[in-house]
Every structure is written in structure tokens, then in C-alpha cells.
Amino acid sequence: MTAMQLRRRWPLILVALIVLPLLVYQIPWVKTRLEWRLDLAQVFVRSRLNPVGELPPPQIASSSPEAEVRPSATTLPPSPTPLATPTPLPPNFILTPPAHETQGPNNCGPATLAMYLRYYGWGGDQYSISDEIKPISADRNVNVDELDYYIRTRAGWLSTLFRVDGSITLLKQLLAAGLPVMVEKGHIIEIDYLLNDDYWNGHYALLTGYDDASGEFIYQDSYNGPDQRMGYTELDMWWQQFNRVYTLVYTPDREADVQAILGADWDAQANRQNAMVTAQLEVESDPENAFAWFNLGMNQVYFGEFNAAAASFDQARLIGLPMRMLRYQFGPFFAYYHTNRLDDLNQLVDYALAITPNSEDVLIWRGWALHKEGNINGAIQQFRLAQEANPKSIYTGPALTSLGATP
């Protein structure tokens, strides 16, 4: 090819160099492999240009936070009749795990749920789930109520529920009854996303067994691989960071068994009352535990105790919380919104969006904050951004409409 021919064809060559990589990127397996790396690079650069630092303390902290423990169980619905004679737990019990699923980008929740449903013969994969509840892969969080919604609307032949305030004994009882359990817990991923990163993230795990001899649970992990092990005490430490929330999926014929094992916690109101008591006891025994204060606030929000919740969240913030805490749990937004502490609400919204700019949950809260300030057009813009971030989001904001990650 002569120099003249090369010059004539150069525009075509340039177009090919631009278009061809874009076409290749649209190939699903190529996009899956590259997308998270590009996302990581963007976060890395953004955090260096605008460092976010630690989660800020309250602007005007409430004084002397106190828990309002709700009325005694006499005011609550009667609990299901427990088993007459509880069967002693075997020293170990291991279920046959489902086929393992390695998570795609930001797909921990759907991948873990896919393994759970697969245990009951379901034939889908994580993308069957994520396409319905988080179709944009950059969406970094899936709440337990979103996973619950998928099961109820797409796997209705199975029954499901989720509760908080679980315990090591409860997990063992459920496993020994042949029921896998999915938990959400804290997790460390040592990848430098943020400047001075604390590496803390939320993560789901599917428990499929336990072994008293080693004092460990066996669980299926979409990130680290199948048949992982973690000690009882260590799991409880990480699990406390999410109010010890757990999801159960089971066939309808096992409902009586589940009711008997859960006892009073079968009732959602009683379960939250028990969680309130647990959080209060943990705050009293370890007043420097920020997660105990945060859990107390989450349970107070559930009951609409917004002033008490704001004080609890203030205390948790003063002690110190992980950088990504508000990617996963939104109780402080409820508390500050309903107590008209808009400065604190906006402060946390700004911080959370600096960490996770495309969080539809937080974008919705920015919209409600603007709405409360009278900026209707600004609120509408934020709601539209939230819809773009997750067109299939079931999250709404200030109304207490579910038991899930909302409160």
C-alpha cells in the first residue's frame, strides 16, 4: 500500500479502531469481564480527585441516647405452639450444597439467592434474578426485601420470609431441620476502591452446615468459593453488623416446622420487639459498639420511634461506622427525615452518594429531602436519576412499607 493510499484510507482505519472495540465490548462475556474493571478504575480516579474520608459525625448530636423498649410480649400476637420436646441438636449437620455460582459484578445477592433456589430444583442463574431486580450491573446493592420480592413473584411455588435478631443456636436448629439459611453480614474485600479504604462491604452467604467439633459453619460464598468455613463467634460478629438478618426459603409443606423453630419470631412484630431488646442489652454491655447502637436505631425506626432512633444513630456515628454503611442500610435517613434534621439528612446523602453515586436508594432520599425543602423540580430530577439507576427498583423512601432493608 502506497503512502497516498494509506492517507486516503486513514479515516476508515480510524473509524475501525474506534468502532471495533465498542462492538467487541458488547459481546456478553467480554462485557462481563471488563465492565467491573472499568468501574473500579472510575471509582479509583474519582476517590483520588475527591476523597470522601470517614463517615461524618452528627452535626448536632442528641444527648443521652436511650432505648425505648417496647411493651411486654403480653401485647403481642400469640406465638405459634413450639415443639413439645425439642429434638437435641446433632454435633454436626451438613446439607448437600447446591451447584456453586460465582458472582458477576456486584451480583452477590442474586448469585447467593440463585444457589439457594437451586437447592430446591430451580433451573435459573444469578442473571435470571438480577435482570428482574437490578438490571444495571453497576448497581452495587440488593436489599433483602428485593430478594424476597423476586422469590414471591418469580418462584411462588416456594415460601419465604426474612427476620432479624437471629442467633447461632437458631441457625443450627434450622440447618439440622434440613433448611439452608441465607444471611447478610459484613465482609472485607482488600481492593483499593477508595482512598484510605477500610475495605468493609456487605455480603450474602448461604449456610449449609455446621460442625461443633471445630465450632464452624459451612457456607457457600459467591465471591470466595464453595464450602467456606467460619467460626461461630466470628460469623456472629460480622452478622451483627446487619442486625443479624436472615432469609429462609422452604417448600410450603415445611411451614409448620419453620413456625415451630422460630417460635415467637414467626410474628414480624414480635421479632422486631425481640431485636429491640437484644440491641438494648448489647448497647448496655458494650456501649462503644457502633453496630449495637446502629441496630438499636434500625429497630426503633421499624416502630416509628424516630427521635430515639436519631439519638441511637448519632451515637453510632460518634463512635464510628464503615465508609459504605449507608450503601446497604438506610435507617438514619428515616430518622433524620422524620425529625426534620435536614442538615444531617443532606450531609449523609451527600456522603453516601460520594461513595456510591448510582445508589437509587440514596438518590430517592435526596429527592425527598429536596421535596421537604420545597424544591419540587429538584426532587423530580432526583427521582428520575434513581429510576435510571435501577428501573425496576421497589424502593420508595419515607413510608415504612416493609420489614426489610428499608427500616
State the DSSP string of 80-145: PPPPSSPPPPPSEEEPPPPPP----TT-HHHHHHHHHHHTTT----HHHHHHHH--STT-----HH
pLDDT at 169: 98
State the distance between the two ends of the chain, measured CA to CA, in whole angstroms.
Answer: 68
Distances (CA, A) of 211 to 187, 195, 217, 261: 22, 39, 6, 20
Please give the pLDDT value at position 7.
Answer: 62
The radius of gyration of the chain's CA atoms, rounded to the nearest angstrom, is 23
- Lookup result for grid cell 483520588: 48
Burial of 265 (0-12, 13-18, 19+ CB in 10 A): buried
DSSP secondary structure letter of residue 58: P
Give the C-alpha separation, 309 to 305, whole Å: 6
Contact 312, 61 (CB under 8 A): no
Domain 270-389 -> CATH class: mainly alpha
Residue whose C-alpha cell is 448437600: 96
The DSSP line for 10-29 is HHHHHHHHHHHHHHHHTSHH
Tens-level pLDDT at each residue, the chain (407 residues): 566 655 666 666 555 556 565 554 456 544 555 555 566 566 556 656 677 889 999 987 665 565 444 543 334 445 444 444 467 899 999 999 999 999 999 999 999 999 999 999 999 999 999 999 999 999 999 999 999 999 999 999 999 999 999 999 999 999 999 999 999 999 998 887 888 999 999 999 999 999 999 999 999 999 999 999 999 999 999 999 999 999 999 999 999 999 999 999 999 999 999 999 999 999 999 999 999 999 999 999 999 999 999 999 999 999 999 999 999 999 999 999 999 999 999 999 999 999 999 999 999 999 999 999 999 999 999 999 999 999 999 888 887 544 334 44
Q: What's the Cα-to-Cα distance from 61 to each of 56, 57, 314, 336, 360, rounded to whole Å?
A: 12, 8, 6, 12, 27
pLDDT at 74: 34
Nearest partner of 245 among 67, 109, 54, judged by Cα: 109
Domain ranges of the chain: 11-49, 89-266, 270-389
The number of beta carbons lying within 10 Å of the beta carbon of residue 249 is 24
For 209-219, b where at least 16 C-beta lie within 10 A, e where not — what string? bbeeeeebbbb
Cβ(128)–Cβ(114) below 8 Å = yes
Cell reading at 312: 441511637
* Residue 113 near residue 151 (C-beta atoms within 8 A): yes
Architecture of domain 89-266: Alpha-Beta Complex (3.90)
- 299: helix, strand or coil: helix
Give the integer Cα–Cα distance in Å for 404 and 298: 10
DSSP 164: S
Cell output for 137: 450491573
Rounded Cα distance, 281 and 377, in Å: 45
Distance CA 377, CA 371 (A): 8
| CB contact set of 55 (below 8 Å; sequence gap of 6+) | 317, 320, 321, 322, 323, 325, 326, 348, 351
- 3-state DSSP call for residue 202? strand
